[in-house]
Amino acid sequence: MSEPQKAAGAFAPLRQPVFAVLWAATVLGNIGSFMRDVASSWLVTDLSASPTAVALIQTAATLPIFLLAIPAGVLSDILDRRRFLIFVQVMLAAVSGTLLVLSQNGALTVEYLVALTFVGGIGAALMGPTWQSIVPELVPRGDLKNAVALNSLGINISRAIGPAAGGLILASFGAAATYGLDVLSYVFVIAALLWWKRPAAVDSGLSENFLGAFRAGIRYTRASKELHVVLLRAAVFFLFASSVWALLPLVARQMLGGTASFYGILLGAVGAGAIGGALVMPRLRARLDADGMLLLAALLTAGVMGALVFAPPQWLAVALLLLLGLGWIIALTTLNGVAQSILPNWVRGRGLAVYLTVFNGAMAAGSLGWGLIAQQIGVPFTLVAGAVGLVLTGLVFHRVRLPAGEADLQASNHWPEPLLAEPVAHDRGPVMIQVEYRIRKEDRPAFLEAMKRLSLERRRDGAYAWGVHEHTADAERVMEWFLVESWAEHLRQHHRVSHADADLQAEALRFHIGPGKPEVHHFLAL
């Protein structure tokens, strides 16, 4: 009986009407977006034979996400998400509508395509973190992981259908029809968002403004060494893997002798391979850890790139792109899953936005760089260079281990409320917090090592400066201090401390030899 229940549980979020409607609308919207991207990528090969021009389309699509993902993550936390998503969908519909009019009148140029693709990338940058942020609002907490998995499945269904359909429609009816269907897909998404009656947010009195939330996200990113490892591994992988995506239109047209419909079939094969990969990944995870999965993804992707160099028959190229989809979904889900597991709820949107920034920055820089290289040495040799680089960096960085992501990041709420002589305005600051310990001299090295780990937690949760000082007249008296920019930000700290953070604090507290707990003092700047 347990197995059927598990199978049913995977689709349990679809029993929630709002989630089901928005999920279906998102699939349709993504299908339209993939159709638009196929049309734009193929049309640029009609307008210019330059590899740099072709790669610029990929760069224009991903560069805005690199530039705007973090501000978008902040906006998703401080604006009404439903209205924000409607605004973004209207903007994207306007982009595709403009492409429709220009293509219908024969006025499309490389410059127009790149510029409008860039604006479409801005919409994607604004939309990404917000879509991820609304999922907990749509399903019960117990269905959250299944809802996230269904969103990934929906993206790959769109990736399997959209490119192939876009290529066929482009070849049969032209670019205007392809762009027109994309506009229609946004109508469905906007209608679904208008139908969703999102409850009004409750003002807790501690809501963040844009600049404060932005700074908090940056502080967390700077202090989280675990996130640094994920970002490094993502940047290295996608910098080299971007070569196949940047040059795929030229591979399809020049090396494989394909048409627009064949290019769409190739991209559809990537989506189909990703769907198949989602089915086999549980078995792979049972045998490989996250580092092994990422190395497997690098070897699969590099193998496909190396095989495409020999200009295989079209049927074999489609089979190779299935493997590329498998490698791609392994890398994406592994890195995204690790990032999700190490980020607490209060900063998850902003942390994922930083991850998206690195991912798309690596894709944008890599696409442009590989296009320039292909201009000089040709597409086949560029693919070989990308494949070799991907294998070498995969083996070298395999030693930089990804975090396990097993810490309990739920809020512990174990900090007592600060004692106040009179109410304090939330914008008052900066605030100095002092914690006074009594530490035996022989325990000091171990205590300082524990405090070093604790300092990262203080900085992640909101401190912009931290230090430890000893008393000149009493060797056992040690003062920890940290600065927070405002009283409101310190109150937020109280709600950000996780159970894992509490364990770090307990590790430092075990060296305290005082009669009670360490004394805590709060000071406000005058």
Per-domain boundaries in the chain:
2-197+208-399, 431-524
Percent of the chain whose predicted confidence (pLDDT) is above 70: 94
Q: How confident is the model at residue 266 (pLDDT cuts 50, 70, 90)?
A: confident
Pick the CATH number of 431-524 from 3.10.450.50, 2.30.30.30, 3.40.50.920, 3.30.70.100: 3.30.70.100
How far is it, in rounded angstroms, from Cα 118 to Cα 269?
A: 26
Kindly state which CATH superfamily the domain 2-197+208-399 is placed in.
MFS general substrate transporter like domains (1.20.1250.20)
pLDDT higher than 60, residue 10: no
**CA-to-CA separations, 104 to 4, 53, 57, 110, 173, in angstroms, rounded:** 52, 22, 20, 15, 11
Q: How confident is the model at residue 231 (pLDDT cuts 50, 70, 90)?
A: very high
What is the rounded (10 degree) CA torsion for 451, 452, 456, 459? 70
The greatest distance separating any two alpha carbons of the chain, rounded to the nearest whole angstrom, comes to 86
Report helix, strand or coil for 437.
Answer: strand
pLDDT for the residue 9: 52
Q: How confident is the model at residue 132 (pLDDT cuts 50, 70, 90)?
A: confident
Report helix, strand or coil for 372.
Answer: helix
Task: Give the chain's mean pLDDT.
Answer: 85
How far is it, in rounded angstroms, from Cα 219 to Cα 366?
A: 27
Do domains 2-197+208-399 and 431-524 share one topology? The answer is no
Count other Cβ atoms within 10 Å, centred on residue 78. 16
Q: How confident is the model at residue 203 (pLDDT cuts 50, 70, 90)?
A: low
| Cis amide leading into 313 (omega within 30) | no
Q: How confident is the model at residue 434 (pLDDT cuts 50, 70, 90)?
A: very high
pLDDT for the residue 5: 40
> In which element (H, E) is residue 141 found?
none
Q: 474-484: per-residue pLDDT in tens?
A: 989 999 999 99
Residue 195: what residue type?
W
